[in-house]
Amino acid sequence: MNIIVLVKQTFDTEEKIVVEQGTVNEDGVKFVINPYDEYAVEQAIQIRDDAGGKVTVVSVGPERAAEALRTALAMGADEAVLIHDDRIGHDEQAVAAALHAFIAQEQYDIILGGNFSVDNGAGQVAVRLAKMLGIPHTSSITKLDIAAGKAVVHRDAEGDLEVVELPLPALFTAQQGLNEPRYPSLQGIMKAKKKPFRELSLDDLNLDVGAVAARTARTELQLPPARQAGKIISGEPAAQAQELFRLLRTEAKVI
Amino acid sequence: MSKTFLVVAETRGGSLRQVSYETISAARTAGGTDTAVAAVLLGAGASALANELAQYGADRVYTVEHADLEHYNPQAYFAALHAVVQSAQPDAIFFGHTAIGKDLAPQLAAELGTGQISDVTAIEVDGSGETLFTRPIYAGKALEKKAFTAFPWIVTVRPNNITPLAPNATRTADTEAIAYPEPTLHTIIRDVVRNTSGKIDLSEAKVVISGGRGVRSADGFKPLEELAAVLGGAVGASRGACDAGYCDYALQIGQTGKVVTPELYIAAGISGAIQHVAGMSSSRVIIAINKDPEAPIFKIADYGIVGDLFEVVPLLTEQFKQALQP
């Protein structure tokens, strides 16, 4: 079973965002594997351990994204590929086109990715990729069973549960609850250093710049207006509840 | 009319979802006066709702009815929508940022080789006539404005953020039925288990009552559920409560989890970690109930009660129940 996992490196979710001159400041920031992609990596390792085969983790991003791929190798992935080229546009169409150029030439049975990235949050790349490869997909899965060339998955659709069956090869995006990602062991970290790690540019992928041009552009970036601490309501619980109700009705006018 | 924008409307339980009206309004704002807004309804019985879409601003309604469209199937829905797009040749296609929209929009964007701006919370047309889309990134820790550099546009609109147009009962729309192309389906929807009946979806709820570690157990959510029932709201949770096993991850609000923007957010027994705050800080009014007066949640709450949620929440439920009695 050949499994490809799409990995993005993102800010740690506990990081504060600082905007300077129209961009997010990355100085001193801790980067992690996008938490949803971590579920995808874990699932891939479990399937490989069960059915045999190979897990390849692939990322489109800056050079620092190599750290996220190394972490995935330390968790148990077999190979890593970093597609790094400053000419790749900053939008989902461009990233999906770069991934497509690489993956279309690979052998795969399953592609796994995160449901969305916790930084950009657009949730487009994996589904775009499935469409470009012409394979079926299910997004936002919480359970994945593979047997006899087919997958049976549970999909979380706004709290509803859908049970979906589809043939392989297929693409899935991971939702919280799919599994409990493992931590890299010391042994895993040591082993990771010897695993194959490829770096590819547009030239290696035979892609011209037009194919990875962005179709959207950011025109402005700012922090949301800061919220101020409001009123603390004191007194006995019954009086507090009464006063809160009064304020919601007369001052905040939400009731 | 020089342009046509297409809105993908959604139904639930046989009625139109609120987000469908919001999405029509979004398309109107983005397109300005020289744009016709058409809507598309996919699924059995869809045509019966065409008039309602017209009242909320649709000029034309396309329908595709077929048994394959009873439940959301990515392949079937894509095929149906693609047939409409080929017929209508829209300059932009708008979706709700919902389970369906999030899945269907990128498929269409990839097929058309075009850009998509996801999870839009506000739209404006600037002085030079360029349409700018505001969207939160880092789960709301920052806001970016984006514009398209090519047509067609594909947009998903976050529920609960864009005001629908006032309905006009006299408005009607042309309707056009489009034939379902009957693709070979590889994906089979075996079963759909609906969320416990009567529960309101978190992303569309006007009132959200969330519990954190302070609820202490799965049973600790009961008082929150009772308050939610009285206010017609939804129950959410912090990551702490989910990690502790008090509730399902489907309820989690935060940078991992759902991002909500209700009118009223009540955080009960939630300390206010940055991860959680990212997911709820755009709520209009925030109430914090926590025993710890130093809890960071009080720094962003409009109203705070330092106290035990097990005492305060039932008292609030009682207050609301009495006041809201018809």
Contact check, Cβ <8 Å, B148/A249: no
Residue B196's pLDDT band (boundaries 50, 70, 90)?
low
How is residue B1 written in tokens? 């009319």
B180 touches chain A (CB under 8 A): no
User: Does residue B164 sit at the A interface (CB-CB below 8 Å)?
Assistant: no
Q: Residue A150, SS3?
A: strand
Would you call A143 an interface residue with chain B, using a CB distance cutoff of 8 Å?
Answer: no
Place of tokens 């330390």: A74
Percent of chain B residues topping a pLDDT of 90: 89
Q: What is the mean pLDDT of each run of 10 residues along chain A (255 residues)?
A: 98 94 94 98 98 98 98 98 97 97 98 97 97 98 96 93 97 96 97 98 95 96 93 93 93 89
Q: How confident is the model at residue B133 (pLDDT cuts 50, 70, 90)?
A: very high
pLDDT digits (tens, 9 = 90+) for B240-286: 999 999 998 889 999 999 999 999 999 999 999 999 999 999 999 99
Average pLDDT (B17-34) is 95
Asked whether the beta carbons of residue A223 and residue B136 sit closer than 8 angstroms, the reply is no
Residue B232 binned pLDDT confidence (cut-offs 50, 70, 90) = very high
Give the distance from residue B167's alpha carbon to the nearest chain A alpha carbon, in angstroms: 22
A244 close contact with B: CB closer than 8 A: yes
CA distance B48 to chain A (A): 25
* A99 touches A131 (CB < 8 A): no
Whether the per-residue pLDDT at B201 is higher than 90: the answer is no
Rg from Cα positions in chain B: 21
Chain A residues whose CB is inside 8 A of the B137 CB are 119-121
CA–CA gap between residue B77 and residue B206 (Å, rounded)? 29
pLDDT score of B49: 92
Structure tokens at B245: 């096993």
Pairing of strands B116-120, B15-16: unpaired
Q: What is the pTM of this model?
A: 0.95
User: How much is the pLDDT for A96?
Assistant: 98
Q: Which residue stretches of A104-165 are H helix?
A: 125-133
Enumerate helices (H) and strands (E) in chain B, giving the number of each: 8, 18
Residue B8 predicted with pLDDT over 70? yes
What average pLDDT does range B172-185 have in this prediction? 95
Measured between alpha carbons, how far is A202 from B215 in angstroms, rounded to an integer?
A: 52
Which pLDDT band, with edges at 50, 70 and 90, does B212 fall under?
Answer: very high
Looking at residues B130-143, what average pLDDT do you find? Answer: 96
Helix axes A66-75, A35-51, angle to 10 degrees: 40
Q: Any CB–CB contact under 8 A between A160 and chain B? A: yes
User: What ipTM score was computed for the predicted complex, to two decimals?
Assistant: 0.96
Q: If you average pLDDT over residues B77-102, what whole number do you get?
A: 98
- What is the model's pLDDT at position A205? 96
Residue B39 predicted with pLDDT over 90 = yes
Residue B1 confidence class, pLDDT cut points 50, 70, 90: low
Distance CA B94, CA B73 (A): 19
C-alpha span between B55 and A174 (Å, rounded): 39
* Residue in B293, B237, B246, B244 with CA at minimum distance from that of residue B268: B237
Share of residues in chain A with pLDDT > 70 (%):
100
CA A78 to chain centroid:
19
